[in-house]
Structure 1
Amino acid sequence: MLVLLPPSETKTDGGDGRCLALDSLSFPELNPVRRKLADALAELAKDVPASLSALGLSERQHGEVKRNATLWSSPTTPAVLRYTGVLYDALGAGSFTGAVWERARHRLAVASALFGVVRADDPIPAYRLSGTSALPGFGSLRSVWRPVLEPVLGAIDDLVVDLRSGTYAALARVPGAITVRVVTQDAHGRRTTVSHHNKAHKGRFAAALATTACEPSGPEDLVAVARAEGITCEQTGDTTLDVIVGG
């Protein structure tokens, strides 16, 4: 099973790993595009105003440009520990140890505007690039990633649980992947997609899947794992699940 997480705009600084080496990342077929984007991002960082414009940042976020300037020389840390924010707080990967970490590092992957997709323990530096950015000379990242990323994700034989946001799902489709909605349900059974706290609930769901001792092979197993962790979950189609939360 592979649980495909969305990235986060916010990331931790520093790390204990050596500087970025693309050969150390999973899915090496993506390395040519990774290198082009990383080189372009580092070069763009030499022009702070142009970087702020291309990345959709404000003047107060010039520190994000500094991160890009040192992409190739700054220390790395495992991807699932690099990203921060509501989803990653709920995931709690920093507390995984022993057999739990071994399961999680094989099961979790993170979508990335810069790297396409990385596994949980792939060593990456801090950077700033979102799925909606358009680097000079590249056009949309969808046009850059889709031709190379879709074949890679489509070749994964394991069950794929796709928790990506719409922006990152647009970079590459994954046929047959299980998609998950977080919804509320009223007294009449009507369901409404949750926007507030959506990430927290997806983080809890991802944690349940990443750490379970069983090996889910289909949506029924995913529902069982979620319910065992106190998460109300229901299969709504061949490849769709609803996580149902309080209103």
Structure 2
Amino acid sequence: MLILLPPSEGKADTGSGKPLDPARLSLPALHAARERALDALITLCGGDQDIAAETLGLSPGLRGEITRNTLLRTAKALPAGSLYTGVLYDNLGLADLPAPAKTRARRTLLIFSGLWGALRVDDRVPPYRCSMGVRLPGVGLLSTLWRDTMAQPLAEAAGTGLVLDLRSSLYTPAWTPRGDVAARTATVRVLHERNGARTVVSHFNKATKGRLVRDLLTDGGNPRDPAELATALRDLKHTVEQQPPARPGRPWQLDVIVTEL
């Protein structure tokens, strides 16, 4: 099983260990693209701050992130699983998972990133600011960079098992499951049911997805396709409805119904 997660705008303020070593990150096929993006970001942030702020979409209160980005090669790093904060990661609670679940997290979780492409939870990187929708000078739109780079490595990472795709829409263009991988891929939509009516939730969408991942990691099961995933989630007391693909070669959608937010 491979679980794809979005990053979080919220991040730890500082690292706590040795600086970044790009050559030690997982998915080594992404190394050259990571170096291109990293060099371009550092160069951008070392120049005109107004241009950097506009390119990165930073408000005046986030101008300090520009200076932080210039120091990415020397700043202290920390595991990606500790770097990202926010609703999804708070509810996932990687730090206090039981030991077997932490081992599964290292093996199954993949966090997408505008700057790094994708990271395993134990990949060590410094805090940074650069989303997937940024166009870096000399590199272009980051989602396009990663789409062109990640097709083969991500297909290999998916192997022959289930792919649970929990990414937000900003990050899905970076890799699109194709062919038999798509047939083994499930996305999740969270619906709030109240008085017989259902609505799509936003904030609690992230919370619910964090809880789903935590439950799957703690349970230790290994669903092999979307149907088995739906069964596993129901066994874990989630209310799930399966929506088959509109046409062959597209992912399945699982609707998770919540009655309390």
Q: Secondary structure at the match of 1:185?
A: strand
The structure 1 residue matched to 2:221, chosen from 206, 214, 224, is 214
- How far apart are 1:207 and its partner, in Å? 1.2
Tell me how far apart the structure 1 counterparts of residues 163 and 107 of structure 2 sit (CA, whole Å). 12
Query: Counterpart of 1:89 in 2: which secondary structure?
Result: helix
Instruction: State the distance in 2 between where 1:170 and 1:193 align.
Output: 22
User: What TM-score do the two structures reach when normalised by structure 1?
Assistant: 0.92
Deviation at residue 67 of structure 1 after TM alignment: 2.0
Q: CA deviation at 1:193?
A: 2.2
Residue 192 of structure 2 corresponds to which residue in structure 1?
184
Following the alignment from structure 1 to structure 2, what is the Cα–Cα distance between the partners of residues 60 and 40?
A: 23
Deviations 1:152-183 (A, max 9, x none): 22232132100000110012212312111111
Match of 2:130 in 1: 129
8 Å contact kept, 1:5–1:162: yes
How far apart are 1:115 and its partner, in Å?
Answer: 0.9
* Distance across 2 between alignment mates of 1:162 and 1:132: 19
- Separation of aligned partners in 1, 2:29 and 2:221: 30
- Tell me how far apart the structure 2 counterparts of residues 67 and 159 of structure 1 sit (CA, whole Å): 37
Provide the aligned length of Structure 1 versus Structure 2: 246
Report the alpha carbon displacement of residue 123 of structure 1 after superposing the two structures with TM. Answer: 1.0
> Structure 1 pair 67/230, CA: closer, same or farther in 2 (3 Å)?
farther
SS in 1 for 2:136: coil
User: What is the CA-CA distance between 1:233 and the residue it aligns to?
Assistant: 1.9
Counterpart contact for 1:208–1:225, Cα < 8 Å: no
Alignment counterpart, residue 172 of structure 1, candidates 166, 171, 175? 175
CA distance in 1, matches of 2:232, 2:126: 33
Counterpart of 1:243?
256
Distance 1:224 1:162, change over 3 A: same
Mapped contact 2:243–2:255 kept (Cα < 8 A)? yes
The answer for the alignment partner of 2:34 in structure 1 is 34
Q: Which runs of 5+ in 2 are unaligned?
A: 246-251
2:62 corresponds to = 61
**C-alpha separation between the residues in 1 aligned to 2:79 and 2:203?**
28
| Structure 2: distance between partners of 1:211 and 1:74 | 33
CA RMSD of aligned residues (A): 1.8
Alpha-carbon offset, residue 14 of structure 1: 2.3
Q: What displacement does 1:187 show?
A: 5.2
| Change in CA separation of 1:75 and 1:225 when aligned onto 2, cut-off 3 Å | farther
What is the distance in 2 between the residues matched to 1:127 and 1:93?
Answer: 20
| Alignment check: 8 A CA contact 2:12 2:85 kept | yes
Q: Determine helix, strand or coil for the equivalent of 1:170.
A: helix
Q: Which amino acid aligns with 1:245?
A: V
SS in structure 2 opposite 1:128? Answer: coil
Tell me, yes or no, if the aligned pair for 1:209 and 1:222 is still in contact at 8 Å.
no
Distance of 2:164 and 2:108 partners within structure 1: 10
